[in-house]
Amino acid sequence: MTLDLGLLERWLTGWSLARGLPLPQPYGGGLVVEVGWPEQVRRHVFVEAGPALQACAARIRDPFIYLKAAVEPAHLRRALPAPWQIEQPRYLMRSTEPMTPVPMPAGYDVQATVEHGASVIRLVDATGQTAAMGRVVMHGASAVFDRIETQEAHRRKGLGTSVMSALDDLAKQAGVSERLLVATEAGCALYQRLGWRVVAPYATAVLPASSFTDPATP
């Protein structure tokens, strides 16, 4: 079953708002965001690795333009010619139910700020250093969770769960009916334990800069 493009657009809108970027626009059967970073100029997002994605790939003549699709990495690999580099798998996840609240672990303080369009939760240790953090963007009836991170020295203490609980409380206060995120392999396992479910795999391809090196250049 092909994923609804509207769900991808809701996720991508939150991703863009969290970074202060232009909102996604329709393009060639998918969506495009003009990211404008040196390491990521643009990203194209599709629900499948079909003719629309392949046509988009054929038009790309520069590095650092990303193709993303709600498919397995192996599927994306088969759809693209050899120079395209496939990155580590990700998972598009969704939840419609609030989390059971989790108390903050002892020894950490919570700091809440706003950056761009995102509410940011930081857990800081006794020295004032950030131990874990995450972001959530509310738009329409959706909450998009983003960049949930725990520093190496503070892992396996439940901080990721605590950050998710604090962000989820903000989503609950906003009255959203849908929570979305894209997870790494390790993150996926945590979020499933918290009641999230995988909606679709999420694969990424990019042409490395080396593909554009002039053979005559030493």
CATH of the domain at 140: 3.40.630.30
Residue 2 confidence (pLDDT) above 80: no
Pairing mode, strands 142-150 and 178-183: parallel
68 and 131 fall within a common domain: no
Average pLDDT over residues 10-15: 98
Mean pLDDT of 22-44: 98
How many helices and strands in the chain, by DSSP H and E? 5, 12
**What's the confidence (pLDDT) of residue 167?**
98
pTM of the model: 0.93
Cα separation, 199 vs 8, whole angstroms: 10
* Position 110, amino acid: V
* Same-domain check for residues 85 and 130: no
Classify residue 196: in a domain, yes or no: no
pLDDT band at 208 (very low <50, low <70, confident <90, very high): confident
E-only strand ranges, 154-196: 178-183
Q: Looking at residue 175, what is its pLDDT?
A: 98
Pair 66, 109 in one domain:
no
Instruction: Specify if 109 maps to a domain.
Output: yes
**84 shares a domain with 136:** no
> What residue numbers bound the domain in which 84 lies?
5-91+201-212
pLDDT the model gives residue 212: 62
User: Quick check: is 191 in a domain?
Assistant: no
In this structure, the answer to whether residues 104 and 162 fall within a common structural domain is yes
Residues 34 and 108 in one domain: no
The answer to whether residue 146 sits within a structural domain is: yes
Cβ-based neighbours of 61, under 8 Å, separated by 6 or more:
none
Do 108 and 80 have their domain in common?
no
**Domain identity same for 38 and 81:** yes
218 belongs to a structural domain: no
**Using CA of residue 195, residue 13, residue 19, residue 168, what is the dihedral sign?**
negative
Answer whether residue 184 is part of any domain.
no
Angle CA 187–40–218, to nearest 5: 120
The token duo for 34 is 């003009």
Instruction: Please give the pLDDT value at position 135.
Output: 98
Q: Are residues 85 and 103 in the same domain?
A: no
Count of domains observed in the chain? 2
Residues 6+ apart with CB under 8 A from 195: 95, 97, 99
In a domain, 61, yes or no: yes
pLDDT score of 211 more than 90 = no
Instruction: Record the tokens describing residue 167, joined without a space.
Output: 């962000």
Residues 77 and 20 in one domain: yes
> How much is the pLDDT for 217?
41
* pLDDT for residue 213 is more than 70: no
In a shared domain, residues 47 and 108: no
pLDDT over threshold 70, residue 18: yes
Give me the mean pLDDT over the 19-26 stretch. 98
Whether 192 maps to a domain, the answer reads no
pLDDT in tens, 162-185: 999 999 999 999 999 999 999 999
The reply to whether 82 and 104 lie within a common domain is no
